[in-house]
Structure 1
Amino acid sequence: MAEPEFQQAYNEIVSSLKESTLFEKHPKYEKVLPVVSVPERIIQFRVTWENDKGEQEVASGYRVQYNSAKGPYKGGLRFHPSVNLSILKFLGFEQIFKNALTGLNMGGGKGGLCVNLKGRSDNEIRRICYAFMRELSKHIGQDTDVPAGDIGVGGREIGYLFGAFRAYRNSWEGVLTGKGLNWGGSLIRPEATGYGVVYFTQAMIDFATKGKESFAGKSVAISGAGNVAQFAALKVIELGGTVVSLSDSKGCIISNAGITAEQIAAIAEAKIHFKSLEEIVGEYSAFAENKVKYIAGARPWLNAGKVDIALPCATQNELSGDEAKGLVAAGVKFVAEGSNMGCTPEAIEVFETARSTAKSVSDSVWYAVGKASNCGGVAVSGLEMAQNSQRTRWTRETVDKELKKIMINCFNDCVNAAQEYTVEASKENLPSLVKGANIAGFVKVADAMFDQGDVF
């Protein structure tokens, strides 16, 4: 069966490793590739429930338990019509190295259900979650596999899934992350991926400008309108940047004056009810005084005007090669993925070429791959697991401080790996964060696999 998304993720890792000096300096690592690319286990199961019309529905559920050398399988659950094994294998494969880059003890996995939740009642969604967990509960646990949310699985769904697990297994344990604060969740978890991508980007800005610049005064194009995009936008505003765009699957909104925190709050409230941006702009008072431009059927990249920083925060392959060229022409200097594999290979090539051929750092474009720049979400999931094990809850300030530290350490690991294992890093150009992230994450996982006899 063709698996284009997985193949794309695999090819990115392989090209980064083979274009580096890693295998030349340490030949043993080459034998890890064919082993780490095969999941330890793939679980596929039938999920049936009764809809609100009294009819039975059925869908395919999955859990790809990819690699546990670094810790329990860790990765989200996606409830969406596009869910298939190729997408889940790509996400799970990325998750292995992303989780390793956090420095925490977590393996990699991903799962989901091929279903559309739009238009369904809370009661029906609860029945879907209980039906899904009836089978999944046989295969997960706090020391085995700790799923989280993803597209289509937010706080409501995590609550239903946790309640189902507790009922089926008669066990209250930190088996899911993204839980409610009243029953084991962590402060900062909803914000973590969005905040984390901004912290990572700030580290990029600090490195490239030697601490002379920040988000202040920067024009920032963001795609998406879900959890990641919302909190990335709020953190950008807090740091003095101007958010010029957000988007959803039907179109985008553009505001050269800047999308406001009040407008983001309105979007957050409406998106729970699956409203489109077009509907939100027309219905919510926050958009009456501060007008935005809605463009149907468009993504923001070629419509946002001058852009200093681009943060793709929607879904995979959401930024094309032509859009990357448009962003470079619009003056973009920093691109960091809040989504998983947000840029197509063609877009990555455009950004990497603009970086490697720049005459000076000030003329360069610096691109960060999602497994590094968006690892903040799973990092705080790991912190939630730690809090569950301690039966305690840390303060907001403690979690935020740990998140920022993890993102900066991740950035430094990526830079150090690129400087050590890529020839081009010896030049005046900024180091490749694509290669750095892939090499650093791979080495961490490979060393654990060697130590435990997974590779010999």
Structure 2
Amino acid sequence: MAQTSTIQNDTKAAEEYAARVFETIKQRNPGETEFHQAVEEFLNSVIPALAKEPKYEANGILEQLTEPERLISFRVPWVDDSGAVNVNRGYRVQFNSAIGPYKGGLRFHPSVTGSIVKFLGFEQIFKNSLTGLPIGGGKGGSDFDPKGKSDAEVMRFCQSFMTELQKHIGPDTDVPAGDIGVGGREIGYLFGQYKRLRGAYDAGTLTGKGLSYGGSLARTEATGYGLVYFTVEMLEAAGETIRGKKIVVSGSGNVAIYAIEKAHELGAKVIVCSDSAGFVYDKEGIKVETVKQLKEVERKRISEYVIIHPSAEYYAGGDVWSVPCDIALPCATQNEINADQARALVKNGVIAVAEGANMPSTLEAVDIYHENKVLFGPAKAANAGGVAVSALEMAQNSTRMSWTFQTVDEHLQNIMKDIHKNSSNAASEYGASGNLVIGSNIAGFLKVADTMIAQGII
């Protein structure tokens, strides 16, 4: 009885500590709802670890973890094709470097704000820790929208953006990559300007590069492939298989495309993909080569799919999560699945949800998955394949070697298996068996927190 009382007291103390930190976060960062959401989920998840080890409170670990080491905001002026001057805002958050140089993508999208960048950078700390590779957490971007811009306009913007960013990055300091709106074209322009300004060929300063100048095979496919590999691990742990399952994928960008490709290779059938204007339903299975042509080459809307494949159906402004499926892979953007949509998925028989985008499910949606025994792979675990292969690209750049696609893909599969295993083990150890939200947060947290204690108050 005394032991039970002690455990309860420790848990209560941990809950009070987490609550105090969260109140400070809300007061210090007013209006930053996405950042608040990411921090709240994390704090609630790691309470069992805080209760077990009082040293984390004694060393002020949560206070340090939730405050970025550095937050950079800067003006990005550029001239469009008509000769008009435009001004966007650029960001880079260098959140935590305890286990390695800052690592995280750049997002170019009108929705980018300080709150968005901070939530992404905070999540990146634990995602990067889960990979087992020596990389810290960072993120960045701009409210610039590359859609509808000419190549010349994108180049001029990227050159202006990098003119400021280059002061803060480097292969042993901070290594950006791509994200929404930042693909091979943008990385090429960014790297070219960095090289020009620094007068050095620091290939390891950016990842997601073209193969001709230090990129890695399988990097393009990594996030989508890794998402499916993680989904397979979740299903197998529950005695299920991906073969024969119907899958709904949101988005039609890099993550979505290669999740569709790998799911089809493993015997599943993806029947839906989307963009911001609507979604395509193809009962015979989405033709991934068509999506690649439309999105990666022609940069067109997904509605064009039905012109090429008339048997498919297009729903303008439709809700992809209303389509019955066995597995849902949200690969578009944050908070794209709310509570009502989560209930619709459950009602239609979904057995698994794995996040390809960053924080695509609201906290209420996640609660509904758990209440209804839906297998759930949170983003920081399920979509870590991209940053993992970015770190492998850094390793290749450091040795001036190029690995085969098969070698990189094998590393990726093993990393995703280890992430699932370590998250599952942590969940079990801390009394939340099967809850990969708690497991992934604790597994990612412990490595970073223990390293921070070892390095002192800095």
* TM-score relative to the length of structure 1: 0.91
Find the counterpart in structure 2 of residue 421 from structure 1: 430
Determine if contact 1:93/1:109 at 8 Å carries over to the other structure. yes
Determine if contact 2:250/2:332 at 8 Å carries over to the other structure. yes
Map Cα deviations across residues 264-301 of structure 1 (whole Å, 9 max, x no partner).
Answer: 333344xx54321113433xx3x14xx21111112211
Find the counterpart in structure 2 of residue 320 from structure 1: 338
Find the counterpart in structure 2 of residue 131 from structure 1: 160
Find the counterpart in structure 1 of residue 316 from structure 2: 296
Map Cα deviations across residues 87-139 of structure 1 (whole Å, 9 max, x no partner).
Answer: 00000000000000000000000111111222211011101000000000011
Paired residue secondary structure (1:82): coil
Determine if contact 2:295/2:302 at 8 Å carries over to the other structure. no
Aligned pair partner of 1:10 in 39, 56, 73: 39
User: Within 5 A, what are the aligned runs for 1:35-434?
Assistant: 35-173=64-202, 174-209=204-239, 213-269=240-296, 272-282=297-307, 285=308, 287-288=309-310, 291-302=311-322, 304-305=323-324, 307-355=325-373, 365-422=374-431, 424-425=432-433, 431-434=434-437
Letter in 2 for 1:334: A
Q: CA separation in 1, counterparts of 2:186 and 2:448?
A: 31
Letter in 2 for 1:454: I
Q: CA separation in 1, counterparts of 2:413 and 2:37?
A: 30
Paired residue secondary structure (2:270): strand
Count of residue correspondences: 426
Paired residue secondary structure (1:112): strand
Letter in 2 for 1:434: V
User: Please, which runs of 5 or more residues in structure 1 have no aligned partner?
Assistant: 356-364, 426-430
Give, in angstroms, the shift of residue 17 of structure 1.
1.5
Determine if contact 1:266/1:280 at 8 Å carries over to the other structure. no
Q: CA separation in 1, counterparts of 2:73 and 2:198?
A: 20
Determine if contact 2:226/2:383 at 8 Å carries over to the other structure. yes
Structure scoring higher RCO (CA < 8 A, sep ≥ 6) equals: 1
Q: CA separation in 2, counterparts of 1:267 and 1:411?
A: 33
Determine if contact 1:225/1:267 at 8 Å carries over to the other structure. no
Letter in 1 for 2:274: S
Task: Report % sequence identity.
Answer: 54
Letter in 2 for 1:232: A
* TM-score relative to the length of structure 2: 0.91
Determine if contact 1:46/1:60 at 8 Å carries over to the other structure. yes
Determine if contact 2:257/2:288 at 8 Å carries over to the other structure. no
Give, in angstroms, the shift of residue 82 of structure 1.
0.8
CA-atom RMSD in angstroms:
1.2
Q: CA separation in 1, counterparts of 2:185 and 2:290?
A: 23
Map Cα deviations across residues 205-260 of structure 1 (whole Å, 9 max, x no partner).
Answer: 11110xxx421111111110000000000000000001011011111111222212
Q: CA separation in 1, counterparts of 2:152 and 2:305?
A: 25
Give, in angstroms, the shift of residue 6 of structure 1.
0.2
Paired residue secondary structure (2:372): helix
Give, in angstroms, the shift of residue 349 of structure 1.
0.7
Determine if contact 1:309/1:333 at 8 Å carries over to the other structure. yes
Cα distance change on mapping 1:118 and 1:264 into 2, 3 Å: closer
Determine if contact 1:313/1:338 at 8 Å carries over to the other structure. yes
Q: CA separation in 2, counterparts of 1:410 and 1:61?
A: 32
User: Please, which runs of 5 or more residues in structure 2 have no aligned partner?
Assistant: 1-29
Map Cα deviations across residues 372-421 of structure 1 (whole Å, 9 max, x no partner).
Answer: 00000000000000000000100000000000000000001100110011
Q: CA separation in 1, counterparts of 2:350 and 2:93?
A: 36
Q: CA separation in 1, counterparts of 2:211 and 2:457?
A: 38
Q: CA separation in 1, counterparts of 2:305 and 2:82?
A: 29
Q: CA separation in 2, counterparts of 1:150 and 1:165?
A: 18
Determine if contact 2:339/2:365 at 8 Å carries over to the other structure. yes
Find the counterpart in structure 1 of residue 9 from structure 2: none
